[in-house]
Chains A and B, each alone.
Chain A
Amino acid sequence: MENIGALAILLSFCLAVFSAFAALTGKYTKRPFLVVSAERSVYAIWCLLTLASGLLVNALISGDFRLSYVAAHSNHSMHWIYKFAAWWGGQEGSLLFWAWLLASYSTVIVYTNRRKFRQMMPIVVAILMTTLAFFTSLITFVISPFQVLMAGRGIIDVGDGQGLNPLLQWWTMVIHPPMLYLGYVGFIVPFAFAMASLLTHQQGDSWIHTTRRWAIVTWLFQSTGVVLGMGWAYTVLGWGGYWGWDPVENASLLPWISATAFLHSVMMQEKKGMMKVWNMVLVSATFFLSILGTTLTRTGLVSSVHAFAQSPIKPYFTSFLLGGLVLTTYAILRNLPYLRSESKLESVISRESSFLFNNLILLAGCFAVLWGTLFPVVMEALTGEKETIDAPYYNRVNVPIGLFLLFLTGVGPLIAWRKSSFDSLRRAFMVPTIIGVLTMAALAVGGMRQMTAMIAFGLVAFVVATIVSEFFKGTRAIHHKEHLNVLRAAFELTWRNTRRYGGYVVHMGIVLMFVGFTGAAFNLKETKNLGLGETVRFGHYDLKLLNVNDGTNDNYDYSKATVDVIKDGKVVDQLAPEIRMYKASQQQNSMVGIRRRLNEDLYVNYSGILPDGSKATFQFHQFPLVSCIWLGYWVLLFGTLICLVPSKVRLQYARTEVVSVASVPQTVES
Chain B
Amino acid sequence: MQAYLRPLNRRRAPGYLRTWNLKLVAAFVLSLSFVVAQDPTALMTPEVARVGNRLACRCGGCRNTVGDCPMIKCHSADPTRRRIHDMQAVGITDDQIVQAIVQEEGVVALASPPATGWGLLTWLGPGIALLLGFFVYTQWVRRNRALPVAMNAKDSALLERFRDQMDQELDEPSDKTPGGKPEKR
Contact = CB atoms under 8 A, between A and B. Distances in A.
A608 B106 contact: no
B41 A528 contact: yes
A391 B66 CA distance: 12
Given A367-B129, A387-B113, A649-B185, 20 more contacts: A240-B70, A305-B63, A344-B144, A344-B147, A367-B126, A371-B122, A387-B119, A390-B64, A390-B111, A391-B65, A482-B181, A607-B73, A608-B73, A617-B41, A660-B149, A661-B147, A661-B148, A666-B156, A668-B151, A669-B151
B9 to A, nearest CB: 22
A477 B185 contact: no
List the 10 closest pairs (A to B, CB-CB), nearest first. Answer: A344-B146, A662-B148, A368-B126, A480-B173, A393-B112, A386-B108, A388-B56, A305-B61, A392-B112, A364-B130
Interface residues of B, number: 68
A540 interface: no
A271 interface: no
A245 B65 CA distance: 12
Contacts of B170: 473-474, 476-477
B91 interface: no
A379 interface: yes
B150 A481 contact: no
Contacts of A388: 56, 58, 107-113
Contacts of B68: 525
A144 interface: no
Nearest to A669: B148
A669 B44 CA distance: 65
B133 A360 contact: yes
A527 B78 CA distance: 14
Interface stretch (B18-26, B27-35, B82-90, B134-142): B134-142
Interface of A: 237-240, 244-246, 274, 303, 305, 341, 343-346, 348, 353, 356-357, 360-361, 363-364, 367-368, 371-372, 375, 379, 383, 385-393, 396-397, 401, 421, 424, 427, 473-474, 476-477, 479-483, 496, 525, 527-529, 605, 607-608, 610, 617, 619, 646, 648-650, 656, 658-664, 666-670
Interface in B150-185: 150-153, 156, 163, 167, 169-171, 173-175, 177, 179, 181-185
B64 A391 contact: yes
Contacts of B70: 238-240, 605, 619
Q: Which of B112, B137, B167, B171 has the most A CB atoms < 10 Å from its CB?
A: B112
B174 A480 contact: yes
Given A364-B129, A364-B133, A387 B108 contact: yes
A635 to B, nearest CB: 25
Contact of B140 (A356, A379, A669): A356
Nearest to B56: A388
Contacts of A479: 173
A83 B170 CA distance: 58
A337 to B, nearest CB: 15
A476 B111 contact: no
Interface string B119-135: 10111011001100110
Interface string B64-83: 11001011110000000000
A387 B119 CA distance: 8
Contacts of B184: 648-649
Contacts of A385: 106-108, 118
Contacts of B53: 392
B150 A391 contact: no
A477 B169 contact: yes
Nearest to B129: A367
A477 B173 contact: yes
A427 B170 CA distance: 12
Contacts of A240: 70
Contacts of B153: 666
B60 interface: yes
25 contacts: A239-B70, A345-B144, A367-B125, A367-B126, A385-B118, A387-B118, A388-B108, A390-B65, A391-B111, A392-B54, A473-B171, A474-B170, A481-B177, A607-B72, A608-B73, A610-B39, A648-B182, A658-B146, A658-B147, A660-B147, A661-B150, A668-B156, A669-B148, A669-B151, A670-B148
Contacts of A364: 126, 129-130, 133
A235 B104 CA distance: 36
